[in-house]
Amino acid sequence: MPKSGSVTARWRSFCASGWERKCPAASTFPPSPKRASSTLKARLFEGVGMEILTLVEALKGSLLYQMSLGNTELYHSNVWAWLFQNDHNFIKIFFDAYDERRYEFCGAARECAHRDLIIWLRERGLPEREGKCYFVIENKIKSLADRVQLQNYSEDLYGNRLVGAAFTGIINPFDQDIVQTEGKIKATWRFVPYHKIAEQINEIAAKSQSELIRKNRAQIEEYCSTICHLVSVLRGAVELCPGRLEYRCGQELTAALEEIRLRDIFVKLKAASFVRFLKEREGELLKLCPEGYRLEIMQGFHRKSATIDVRFTDWKARNKQYLHIGIQLQGDQYRRIAERNGRFTSVEEVFHEFKGDWFDENYRPEAQEKVIFGRPTRMRASYDSYGANSREYSFVYQYFDLDESGREFEQLFKMIFSDMKLAGEIVLGREASIDP
């Protein structure tokens, strides 16, 4: 038996306590015709990789999963809209407040006003105009919810009052499941994880009186099982290297994730786990932030690589000069970055402004052994940049390659903390030099 604190134990406990045991169709997939190599079994932690590969084969054998690969989020939104139309009880998965005695269901719309899914309602007992209202669902599976987007969607729409808002995902990128936003109106967004959606769809379908739901019960069960397996694969892959910013999970498993088009989601989730770690230590970084600047911790995805930014910024408007200075992690690269408004400053000027104290002015790209900041690098020029021909921004960076010890969350945070301390001192030094 695996130890209670082991990777295997945590992953199996997560699966069993969450949803796998509640998916009747979880065992109905065709058995895998392949066996993963014994080398992977020896290489991956305690055999978890083998179990994940078994689930990968199950997804490859599911027609419903293959049908979801064209536009994953739209696919799931379409399924949910169909469920809502045929049994309004499914709405309660996302909105506890839904009660047919209070609200009349008027329809579900996908991709209306850029929203993933809208449920149109009419509140009973009110005049028709005042009673028009809606629920909104922001469906995230290939990406992570963004507070700015949720805020932009916090508004009444076409004369319909917003009375409920939910966002979905494999994991929650925020610190809590309830997110308050202030767009055109104040709104409360509730996080509904995919594994809970699968679990509750199954439970409601089992009791449904709808003829169409009963008729399609087997397909609904398989649909729920694909979600179960998908989440298990992703969470299991992320847990293979807990506490490390490690985007590799073994050659065979990495190839398997690529084959079922989950590799990009895995990378985003792995990066999100470190961003969450940074958020927990945010207070330490805030103490380093110069007056007049703000700390930003952000995550993105570019060219199949996750990007994580930790920076100080005084940005106010597109037509104003500004400074971003901090650290960017992209793939295996640890970057020191500086950015100014491209309307006023070229990339060459940014580099020369910050060389010596922030950028390494002694780096020689022609050297046989390339070393910067005392660490190996693959840089082929004195610096790299984006926006050289842009009037929007001039982004300059130097980078080194993360080694094995540098991927540990704690060690990585120490490096970031040290560099952000230096960045704050540089900002203060420049401001002091221009004061009369």
What digits encode the pLDDT tens for the residues 253-279? 889 999 999 999 999 999 999 999 999
Please, how many CA atoms are within 13 Å of residue 350, restricted to the half-sphere of its CB?
Answer: 30
Least confident range of 29-43, 142-156, 229-243, 352-366: 29-43
Q: Which helix (H) or strand (E) holds 221?
A: helix 217-239
Residue 347: name the closest of 396, 399, 398 by CA.
396
Strand positions, DSSP E, 62-184: 103-112, 115-123, 132-138, 161-169, 178-182
Residue predicted with more confidence, 430 or 426: 426
How many other C-beta atoms can be found within 10 angstroms of the C-beta atom of residue 362?
10
Least confident range of 41-45, 262-266, 289-293: 41-45
Q: How confident is the model at residue 142 (pLDDT cuts 50, 70, 90)?
A: confident
Residue 31: is its pLDDT beyond 60?
A: no
Q: Collapsing DSSP states into helix, strand and coil, what is residue 103?
A: strand
The residues, any chain, with a CB within 8 Å of residue 117's CB and separated by 6 or more, are: 77, 80, 81, 108, 109, 110, 136, 137, 139
Q: Where are the alpha helices (DSSP H) in 260-315?
A: 263-280, 282-286
CA angle 399, 405, 406 (to 5 degrees): 30
Q: How confident is the model at residue 284 (pLDDT cuts 50, 70, 90)?
A: very high
Question: What percentage of residues in the chain have a pLDDT greater than 90?
Answer: 68
Residue 401: is its pLDDT beyond 90?
A: yes
- Sorted by where each begins, the domain ranges of the chain are 1-270, 281-434
Q: What are the tokens at 321?
A: 């000069």
pLDDT given for residue 434 in this prediction: 56
Distance CA 394, CA 61 (A): 48
Q: Which helix (H) or strand (E) holds 241?
A: none
What is the pLDDT averaged over residues 124-143? 94
Backbone dihedral angles phi then psi of residue 169, each to the nearest 5 degrees: 165, 170
Cα four-point dihedral sign 21, 27, 29, 32: positive
Distance CA 328, CA 96 (A): 40
Residue 66: is its pLDDT beyond 50?
A: yes
Residue predicted with more confidence, 144 or 358: 358
Backbone dihedral angles phi then psi of residue 129, each to the nearest 5 degrees: -65, -45
- Do the bridges between strand 375-376 and strand 371-372 make them parallel or antiparallel, or are there none, so unpaired? antiparallel
Residue 20: is its pLDDT beyond 90?
A: no
CB 391 within 8 A of CB 258: no
Cα 389 to Cα 309, 342, 349, 385: the distances in Å are 23, 8, 13, 10
Q: How confident is the model at residue 302 (pLDDT cuts 50, 70, 90)?
A: confident
pLDDT given for residue 17 in this prediction: 44
Q: Which amino acid is at 122?
A: R
CB 263 within 8 A of CB 269: no
The residues, any chain, with a CB within 8 Å of residue 421's CB and separated by 6 or more, are: 288
